[in-house]
Structure 1
Amino acid sequence: MPHTRRNRDGLLARVNFPLYTVQMLTSRHVLVGGGGGAANTGVANGFEIFELSHDGEKFVAEEVVRHETGISVVMNCSTFNDNKHLFLVAGQESHCQLYNVQSVVINDEVETEDIGNNQEIRQRKKKVKTDNNENNKRLKFVIKPSDSVQTDFLDDQPLQRVVRISHNSKIMATGGTDGCVRLWKFPILKELHTLKAHKQEIDDLDFSPCENYLISIAKDGLAILWDYTKGKEMTRLTWQQPEGSKYLYKRCRFGVIEGEDKKSALYMITNPTNRAGKQRGYLQKWLPSEGVLCKMDAIDESLSALAVRDDGRFVALGTMFSGSVSIYIAFSLQRVLHIPGAHSMFVTGLEFLPVSSDNHTVTSISEAAVLSISVDNQVCIHSLPFRSTIPLWLAIIIIVATLFFTFVLCSYLGI
């Protein structure tokens, strides 16, 4: 049975604009973006970066920097960090904006300093010592706009819908309302291929961490697997839909298969186009190298967000109507945590805290933790407690005892 509870971890931060995208910037810094758009509503557009820590009882988030983007709402973004260079790319209307992100080591007592471009290093108050607060030195970030390229060319209201950076950091993929997938050399943003992939707007893209795969899904109902190094289509993923129903893919994410470093699984969520009756959304697990749908789990409402942890162990889902968040075991698609009503509106993004041996990784007593955002302006976190297991020594004793009593019983019965 899944562990179901109200959100014990709950609210990490609240911003003053709707949130549409979330990414881990470092192992302990999360970036969220969104906004109110170009309309003169007084709602800002931009990014905020928060530093995460754990005080032994709960997760804590502290604002590090805020960067406003004028009239351009931030609907999608992707980050790259190799510990030498830190880049951020963001969809802003029909263009993709590249940002150089510079880290600055400061002391907690540093005076407020204006650094231009709607950014500032804010004074940080002294904090109670936590697992990541051994001294007063902290990272701040300076976000500087760099190159910008047009990535969508629809005649009427072009819009970049998604951007992804490949795991080798050499390729960037963008997709938008014109249905084309464009591949760019990264970080110089030189166009390599234009893939005329779909007849309608693209909903999501993702790169495989293992193979040269790129998946694209769109409102035309297609899921196309590409070899992104060659810019060529490999296969189209199809499944037997319930009779009398039509489903569209909503989100797609690759994940590594535990114990198989060079093989990936593909997870997708799909929703019915007809919301009447009791039609349900589905979480699907595919083996992309074989084009096979190997597992599927039905959910009692439409789905809006999907994330896979970097080690491939867990998958997280966010729902459309109830604003709920769930965590699943990736191998079996067994739900192990359910947070009903985590947000007051639909979940727009999910991101797992990374798994790393890095000493700067946020630590806690949980087995997994996932961040969620919504247009309700909230950043929340949900943690999965370590599940109870039988120790190996106890399992061995139980097996030996079972065999012994089986032998005694058989001897007594003369079998």
Structure 2
Amino acid sequence: MAPPRKYIDNILARLNFPLYTVQMLTNRHVIVGGGGGSSKTGVANGFEIFELAHDGTKFVAEEITRHETGPSVVMNCSTHCDNKHSYLVAGQESHLQLYNVGSVLVTEEDEIETIGHNHANDVKQRKAKNKQKTDNNRNSKRLKFVIKPSDSVQTDFQGEEPLLRVSRIHPTGKILVTGGTDGVVRLWKFPSLQPAHVLKAHSKEIDDLDFSVYENYLISIAKDGVAVLWDCSKGKEIRRLTWTQPEGSKYLYKRARFGVIEGEDRKSALYMLANPTGLPKKQKSYLQQWLPDEGVIKKSAEIDESLAALAVRNDGRFVAVGTMFSGSVLIYIAFSLQRVLTIPGAHSMFVTGLEFLPVSENHTVTSVAEAAVLSISVDNHVCIHTLPYRRTMPAFVGILILVLTLFLTFVFCSYIGL
């Protein structure tokens, strides 16, 4: 068996197909998808899973699993893992494809031992054989994922060229939402893929969808310029989000993501990208922070070019933005929308997806930096960008400086007779 390929530096991986979607599968594993479509160009379609690590100097990515999807390009995907099952859904042309994701351990001798779900009888048969392996061989095992297609359902019905644009699994794993070129938002029971609600509010194709973590909120945005906040449990519209645009200009929403508000108990913030429809070099684009409960913009940040991708870290502390023309990546503090990192020209073409490495109570690779975000593009590259820990002054040092300043001020005033 050939040794797995490894990639280093800011570019983690170079694939042989354009990339359109990126998701974290676990705290250490990322899945990317894309392809060249159904035309006979020789460009593959499918997924690739990488395991991330840090070697003490830089991040490295090891190729774990590759799954090709035949003539169907992967335009979007979403993942969900619980204690029993791991799922992956992917938009492939007009259909949504459900995959079961299992994990196995592979030794250098290509023997397989089940550590999750049994996907084939031969895996069970090899399990007994692996008990005879030496301790050294056991230490050489590495994790691999098995992606098995399950159900498929058509989710878009736009004339001759239907296309599923967005798919998203609710954090609870009980609901799935899809949207495509027909402008209809469809909610499905998950993982059964049985229809739940059909939401009609858009006249043009859907650009983005997202669920909130705590409330029953669903946001939908489309090329008709409309942003709708829904109650996803009832399938009812709550409100349409509108704002006062600069005079003489027109803006369209591009991306939308929910985050959590730091310091607030189980309360969500909503982040959206708005691009001008006129000359982008003369008009600013915006990263907006909305309060969905009130339907108002709390903060806004101007950006000099059109925006293409958006991500919010799972703890709500950071927001990342990818640009259209320069292929740059920007990282902001979510609370204040203060920019803390700019990576100009991260990609040679527009950024198609962003995903933060998640943080949790368990040790993860993000512990080497304050934040780390993955970016992908149609330039076939997977990149990682890290925000180093910012230096902060300990509280006791600040108090000491304050006391010393007051003391010197008192001595100086006494000296001059005040």
1:259 is matched with 263
The answer to whether the aligner puts 1:389 opposite 2:392 as a matched pair is yes
C-alpha spacing 1:17/1:400, structure 2 compared with 1 (3 Å)? same
Over 3 Å counting, the alpha-carbon distance change for 1:321 and 1:276 in structure 2 is closer
- Asked whether the 8 Å contact 1:224–1:233 carries over to 2, the reply is yes
Task: Indicate yes or no: 2:65 matched with 1:65.
Answer: yes
Between the two structures, name the one with larger relative contact order (CA 8 Å, sep ≥ 6).
Answer: 1
**8 A Cα contact 1:9 1:383, kept in partner:** no
Mapped to 1, the partners of 2:146 and 2:357 lie a distance apart of 23
List aligned pairs for 1:266-281, cutoff 5 A. 266-275=270-279, 277-281=281-285
**Structure 1 residues 139 and 277: alpha-carbon distance in aligned structure 2, compared to 1, 3 A threshold:** closer
134, 146, 156: which one pairs with 2:150? 146
Matched letter for residue 96 of structure 1: L
Q: Tell me the equivalent position of 2:241.
A: 237
Q: Which amino acid aligns with 2:231?
A: D
Cα distance between partner residues in 2 of 1:149 and 1:89? 11
Output one character per residue of 1:330-388: Cα deviation in whole Å (capped at 9) or x when no partner: 011111110100000000000000101224x2245211000000000000000011111
Which amino acid is the alignment partner of residue 377 of structure 1? Answer: N
Q: 1:61 to 1:405 in 2, by over 3 A?
A: same
**C-alpha deviation, 1:406, in angstroms:** 4.2
Counterpart contact for 1:76–1:91, Cα < 8 Å: yes
Aligned: 1:39 with 2:51: no
Displacement after TM superposition at 1:230 (Å): 0.7
Name the SS for the 1:403 alignment partner. helix
User: Does 2:105 match 1:102?
Assistant: no
List per-residue Cα deviations over 1:235-267 (Å, max 9, x = no partner).
111111111110000000000111223101100
For 1:341 and 1:276, locate their aligned partners in 2 and report how far apart those are by CA, in whole Å.
Answer: 18
1:217 to 221, 245, 251: 221
Q: CA RMSD in A?
A: 2.1
Deviations 1:26-66 (A, max 9, x none): 11010000000011111011000011111010111111111
**Contact 2:9 2:58 (C-alpha < 8 Å) held by counterparts:** yes
* Aligned partner of residue 33 in structure 1, secondary structure: strand
Unaligned runs of 5+ in 1: 1-7, 118-133
Normalized per residue, the structure richer in helix is 2
Correspondence for 1:163: 167
Contact kept in structure 1, 2:281 and 2:305, CA below 8 Å: no
Q: Which letter maps to 2:32? A: V
Offset at 1:401? 2.1
**Counterpart secondary structure, 1:283:** strand
Tell me the distance in 2 between the aligned counterparts of 1:70 and 1:197: 34
2:266 maps to amino acid: K
**Matched residues in 1 for 2:417 and 2:261: separation?**
49
CA–CA separation in structure 2 for the residues paired with 1:37 and 1:341: 26
Equivalent position of 2:130 in the other structure: none
- Output the CA distance in 2 between the equivalents of 1:356 and 1:136: 27
Taking a change above 3 Å as real, the CA distance of residues 414 and 209 of structure 1, as seen in their structure-2 partners, is farther
Alignment match of 1:196 (pick from 196, 200, 206): 200
- Secondary structure of the 2:397 match is helix
Whether the 8 Å contact between 1:210 and 1:261 is mirrored in structure 2 is no
Contact 1:56–1:364 under 8 Å retained in 2: no
The residue identity in structure 2 corresponding to 1:397 is L
Structure 2 stretches lacking a partner, 5+ long = 1-7, 121-137
- Contact 1:19–1:377 under 8 Å retained in 2: yes
Residues 1:16 and 2:16 aligned together: yes
**Contact 1:254/1:266, CA 8 A, preserved across alignment:** yes
Whole-angstrom distance in 1 between the partners of 2:49 and 2:159: 34
Question: In the alignment, which residue of structure 2 is the partner of 1:129?
Answer: none
What code does the residue aligned with 1:275 have? L
Q: Is the 8 A contact 1:54 1:364 kept in 2?
A: no
1: CA distance between counterparts of 2:12 and 2:345? 16
335, 342, 346: which one aligns with 1:342: 346
Q: 1:372 aligns with which of 336, 355, 375?
A: 375
> What is the CA–CA distance in structure 1 between the aligned matches of 2:313 and 2:410, rounded to whole Å?
46
CA distance in 2, matches of 1:92, 1:38: 11
| TM-fit CA distance, 1:291 | 0.7
The one-letter amino acid paired with 2:327 is G
Deviation at 1:210, TM superposition (A): 1.4
Shift of the 179–394 alpha-carbon distance from structure 1 to 2, 3 Å rule, reads same
Cα gap change, 1:297/1:9 in structure 2, threshold over 3 Å: closer, same or farther? farther
Tell me the residue number matched to 2:52. 52
Displacement of 1:171 after TM fit?
A: 0.5
Q: So what's the TM-score if we normalise by structure 1?
A: 0.90
Q: Is the 8 A contact 2:101 2:145 kept in 1?
A: yes
Instruction: Name whichever of 277-286 and 176-185 sits farther off.
Output: 277-286
Contact 1:75/1:161 (<8 A) preserved: yes
Q: Secondary structure at the match of 2:404?
A: helix
| Mapped pair 1:333 → 2:337 | yes
The residue type equivalent to 2:88 in the other structure is L
User: How far apart are 1:153 and its partner, in Å?
Assistant: 1.1
Other structure's SS at 1:261 match: coil
Sort the Cα spacing of 1:326 and 1:9 in 2 relative to 1 into closer, same or farther, 3 A: farther
- C-alpha contact (below 8 Å) 2:9/2:60 kept by paired residues: no
Identical-residue share of aligned pairs (%): 74
Q: C-alpha displacement at 1:169, in angstroms?
A: 1.0
Q: 1:410 to 1:286 in 2, by over 3 A?
A: farther
Deviation at 1:278, TM superposition (A): 1.2
- For the residues of structure 1 that align with 2:319 and 2:67, how far apart are their CA atoms? 30
| Corresponding letter in the other structure for 1:290 | E
Structure 2 CA distance for aligned equivalents of residues 263 and 305 of structure 1:
24
Q: Is the 8 A contact 2:33 2:47 kept in 1?
A: yes
Does residue 224 of structure 2 align to residue 228 of structure 1?
no
Give distance in 2, aligned partners of 1:333 and 1:159: 34
Kindly tell me the number of residue pairs found equivalent between the two proteins. Answer: 391
2: distance between equivalents of 1:111 and 1:263?
A: 47
Aligned to 1:92: 92
How far did 1:173 drift? 0.5
User: Per-residue CA shift, 1:95-151, capped at 9, x if unaligned?
Assistant: 1000000111233443699x999xxxxxxxxxxxxxxxx943321111000011111
Letter of the aligned partner of 2:35 in structure 1?
G
